[in-house]
Each structure stands twice: as C-alpha cells, then as structure tokens.
Amino acid sequence: MKRISFFIFAFSFFLVAAQEKGQEAESTQINIVYGANFTKDEAQFPGASIFSKDDERQVQFEHKGADLWCDIAIFYSQENRLRAIGNVRLQQGDSIEMNSAKLDWNGDTSLAKAWENVDLSDGKMTLTTDTLYFDREKQLSYYRSGGKVVDSVNVLTSKIGTYFTELKKVQFKNSVHIDNPEYIIDSEQLDYYRISKNAYMYGPSTITGEEYKIYCERGYYDTKIEQGYGVKNTRIDYSNRIIEGDSVYFDKASSFASATNNIKVTDTINKGVIRAHYAEVFKEKDSVFATKRAVAINLVQQDSLYIHGDTLMITGKPESRILRAFRNAKFYKTDLSGKCDSIHSEEKTGLTKLITDPILWNIDNQITGDSIHLISDLETEKLDSLKVLENAFIISLDTISKTGYNQAKGKNLYGKFIENELKIIDLVQNTEVIYYMYNDDQELIGIDKTICSKIRLLMANSDIEDITFFVNPDGDIFPETDLPVESRKLKGFIWRGDERILKKEDIFDEDDNTIELVKIRGIDNPIDIDAEEEERQKNENDPVNNISNNQGTKPKKTEVKKVQQP
C-alpha cells in the first residue's frame, strides 16, 4: 500500500490547477489560442462558433492554466462553454496530460466532463475510464462507470472513484481491486488521504500477501509505517494461525498482530484454539500471548481439553509447541480435570506439568502431590501415564457408604492410562492405604488399613478393584466398630471435593466472568480519524464556534492599577 499515493494525481489534475490559479483572481473566461478553421451552424448549434483543425495543427484553447487541443471545438463564447470533439488532449504543466474522444467544459460553473476512451497520465501512472467528471466549485472529480489506474507496480480498478480536493482524499467504491507484487487488496470501499497517507476500508475487504491474508468489514491502514487495524468480523490468516476478533491490530513489518474482545486464535496444524479477550501473536517467533478469560482448547481422543490461566503463552514451531498457563491455572476434559498455580505442556515430549499446589481429578479420584506430570503417547496422542512426585495422595469417596474415603499415599505415585482411563496405580516408599471392603451383597466386610513399601492399585470404573502390597506389609482389616472415626483418615488427608471442576465453565472464576470488555469504536459507526482531525482544526480556527464553546464562562475582571508618575 505504500505506493497508493499515485492514485491521487488522477483526480487532482484540474482541481489543483483551479486552486493555484484561483489565488490570482484569474478570469473564468475560456480563451481561444488557435482557432484554425472557423464556421457556424445556427440550425444545429445556435449561437456557437465552430472551430476545426487545419493541415498544420489542432484547435487550441486555454482556461486557468490548462491547455486544450482537439479536432473540432463547438464554442459558446457568451455562455463561456465549449464541446471538444476528436483527439481531445488536455494538458497541465509539463507532465500531466488527459486524452479523450470528447469533452464538455463550462468556464462559469467550473464543470467538465470527458468521455469515450479517457486516459489521464502524469508520466508515472495512467488512469483510464469511459467517463470522467470535474467539479471545480465543489472541489471534486469522479468517475461512475469503472476506472483503471496503472503505474510501474500497481494496477487499481473500481466501479466508482471520487477525489475530494479540500480533504485531499480519494474514495474508491464498488469492486475495488488493487494488484501489487507484494499484495492484493479487494474492498467495497477504500478511502485514501494524500497528506497522512492513511487508508480506510469499508465493507467486506481483504488484503492478501505472500504469507498472510487479512479480512475485515471496517479497517484502517497507515501506509507510511505499514500498520493498521480491522474492526467488525476481522480475521488474519498467517502461515499456520488464524486470528479473529472484534478488533485486530497488525504490523506487516514486524509480523505482529494483537486482538481485542471475543478473540479466537486457531492453530491450523495442531488444530488447537485459543479464546480470550486480548491476545498478541508474533508470527516470526511462532508465539501467542493471551489473557482476559483466556482458554486453550485442544482435541484429545475426540474429547476437548480446556486449559485456562490468567495468562496463556504458546511458543515454538508446530512440532515443538509449548503451552504455559500462568497463575490460577485450571483444565477440564470429560474424565479428567485439575488446577494448580501454573501448567507447562510440551508438544515434542508429550509432557504436561502441573506446578505448585496441583490437584487432579480422574473421574471420582482426587490426586494431589507436590508436582504432577501427565504424559501422552506421541503416536496415538492418548494419555499414557501419570507421575505424582513427593507427597502423593489419592482419595475417593466410598461409593456405598457415602461417608468414608478410600485413601492411598506414598512418596511418589506412578499411574498407567489405558484407553484414557487410569487403570494401574503404583505408590512407592512409605506407602499407606485405607480401603473399605464389601462382599457381593455390598455389605461392609471391614476397613483395610495397611502400611508397606509399595502398593499397586488396579482400577475399574474409577473404583479400586484389587490391591497388592509389596515388601513386608503391616496392617489388618478392621471391623467398622473396631476402627475409630478419627483413625479412618491418613495423615495429610484433605478432601477438596467442593473444588472439583465438573464442567468446562468451572475453569473460570467470577473475575473471569465479569470482565468488562473494552468498547471498540467503529464497529457500528465508521471512524475516520483524518476527517475527525479536519473537523477539530476547523472548530479551533472558527471564531464563531470558539465563542459558542466559551459561552457560560464568566469573563475575567480586568484589574486596573494607577501608578503615580515620578
């Protein structure tokens, strides 16, 4: 978009001349420079003088610094207007030139119309259209039947084009298309300001580059520094990510984008999605930063895994993605959920770490420890194993009595998942267990309380199906009446069932659900900061407006001092 400024010359040709000469109070009269052959035809052109070229040269006229040549001129001197026919050429200065088959010119109203094979060139670019209109009084020029602008690297086409001289703005509308070696732009309306070099896109608009594609229905672009933003249904397609949001800012030079409100960032390779209300994407570093109700969503065995934190960071190439969730981290999938201070998940190793005060729920089992690791099978992408390091503790509510708790603890815990269900649990070093035992009639046999060096639990439907004790087990099965209530909990027992994450909405706290979104300007009503600045400057320079703005302000009292002359 850097070179978009060349479009302005196509429309400013006559209007600039009018502005420059208007300061000299020059006459509006159209002047004959070379009349060549002269005749009249009162029947067909009453009151007109008809001039036609001779063997040496064409007819020539001059008006406010612009020179016109043609084969035939029908000139109404009293009305100060003319029609030029055949090989019409209009020139301003040494480089700006317009050609057409016909041209109507009114010197008093400053209205002009050129039509049939119109082309306008400044030596660097060429505009072609069927019909081009000029209105010096309103300081605008336009075409309505389609136009094409070409320079050394750009081709622009649109159905409608208008140049507003006072605003120094050109407006292209209806099927706007810009073809540049570095990008292609398609828009329903594109406004461009000559001084600020700011461009505005209205309606469905697309910018397509070699490694990116931007879509929005309201957009702004600063062509000087190649930065901009889109609002209303904005989407940016990078090489392997899609960014969507209410407002998306982008910087082509640094391959950086940020998004605000209702954001969705899709990883097209790993099929992961991030949702948040603020996010930053660094394309070259292949990283994403997200906050404000941020959640990462990944598909695991046809089941979505939701990971939340106050802040999410995803870094690394697709095969080596690392996801970090910081502060108040939580995750949920149908049969597995948990929470901790932070989560570190690495694509390359399949390792997910729950760090600082972690807790894990696998169906009805509560698992805690100083650190919890979940390991996935890299080939099947299914959960493979579990490690709980230091102070491992697993608890589940006794499903029959609904009052007691099955418990096992040890220094470390190692678990094995089969088809995503935790089937085998090994607890090692200083292990202890309390287990409620029932017969086939679901009558309580007793409560097993044992200590040993290692315990293996075989699980079925989240319940303990079998227990194996290794190396000098010491314990017994106590009748319920022989084991006091206070002895039915292992040291360190804490039941945290009220914290359990039962659905994906539970990963968000009240603060997450009451976030006040930033108000995005321009979604409902288009914003034109150049026009706003123009209006602001007008108001500042308008003495009447300044007086009205100051109404109600009490005037200052002038203090008069009398000084005795020496």
**Chain segment 502-517, per-residue pLDDT in tens:** 999 999 998 889 988 8
Cα–Cα distance measured from residue 547 to residue 541, given in angstroms and rounded to the nearest whole number: 11
pLDDT at 223: 74
Is 260 contained in some domain? no
Q: What confidence tier does 55 reach under pLDDT thresholds 50, 70, 90? A: very high
Residue 548 has pLDDT above 90, yes or no: no
> Which has the closest alpha carbon to 448: 504, 487, 502?
487
Is 515 contained in some domain? no
pLDDT at 551: 46
Q: Which H or E run includes 385?
A: strand 383-397
Lowest mean pLDDT of 237-241, 338-342, 431-435, 464-468, name the range: 237-241
SS (H, E, C) 327-343: EEEEEEECCEEEEEEEE
Q: Which H or E run includes 20?
A: helix 7-22
Cα–Cα distance measured from residue 71 to residue 62, given in angstroms and rounded to the nearest whole number: 15
Residue 381 has pLDDT above 70, yes or no: yes
Is 242 contained in some domain? no
pLDDT at 6: 47
Helix (H, G, I), strand (E, B) or coil at 6: helix
Helix (H, G, I), strand (E, B) or coil at 187: strand
Token couple for 24 = 């000299």
Helix (H, G, I), strand (E, B) or coil at 415: strand
Is 463 contained in some domain? yes
Cα–Cα distance measured from residue 352 to residue 387, given in angstroms and rounded to the nearest whole number: 10
Mean pLDDT of the chain: 85
Q: Which H or E run includes 548?
A: helix 543-549
Q: pLDDT digits over 80-111, tens only?
A: 999 999 999 988 777 778 899 999 999 888 78
Give the CA angle between residues 65, 71, 72 to the nearest 5°.
90
Lowest mean pLDDT of 47-51, 366-370, 558-562, name the range: 558-562
Is 39 contained in some domain? no
Is 489 contained in some domain? yes
Q: What distance lies between CA 219 and its chain's CA centroid?
A: 10
> Which has the closest alpha carbon to 207: 236, 181, 231?
236
The CATH number given to whatever domain includes residue 428 is 2.60.450.10
Q: pLDDT digits over 430-447, tens only?
A: 999 999 999 988 899 999
Provide the domain limits for residue 357.
335-509
Q: What confidence tier does 383 reach under pLDDT thresholds 50, 70, 90? A: confident
> Which has the closest alpha carbon to 355: 345, 342, 367, 346?
342
> In this structure, what is the dihedral angle of CA atoms 24, 29, 33, 35, given to the nearest 10 degrees?
180
Alpha helices by DSSP H, 245-350? none
Cα–Cα distance measured from residue 431 to residue 407, given in angstroms and rounded to the nearest whole number: 11
Enumerate the β-bridge partners of residue 448. 435, 477
pLDDT at 101: 97
Classify each residue of 484-495 as buried b or exposed e, where b means 16 or more C-beta atoms within 10 Å of its C-beta: eeeebebeeeee
For the residues 442-460, what does the mean pLDDT come to?
91
Number of domains in the chain: 1
Cα–Cα distance measured from residue 520 to residue 219, given in angstroms and rounded to the nearest whole number: 12
Q: Residue 33 carries which side chain, given as an amino acid letter?
A: V
Q: Are strands 359-362 and 160-164 parallel, antiparallel or unpaired?
A: unpaired
For the residues 264-274, what does the mean pLDDT come to?
88
Is 447 contained in some domain? yes
Is 428 contained in some domain? yes
Q: 552 or 525: whose pLDDT is higher? A: 525
Residue 559 has pLDDT above 80, yes or no: no
* Percentage of the chain lying above the pLDDT 70 cut: 89
pLDDT at 57: 94
Helix (H, G, I), strand (E, B) or coil at 150: strand
pLDDT at 156: 85
Q: pLDDT digits over 315-373, tens only?
A: 988 888 899 999 999 999 988 899 999 999 998 899 999 999 999 998 889 999 999 99
Q: 537 or 363: whose pLDDT is higher? A: 363
Q: What confidence tier does 204 reach under pLDDT thresholds 50, 70, 90? A: very high
pLDDT at 108: 85
Residue 271 has pLDDT above 90, yes or no: no
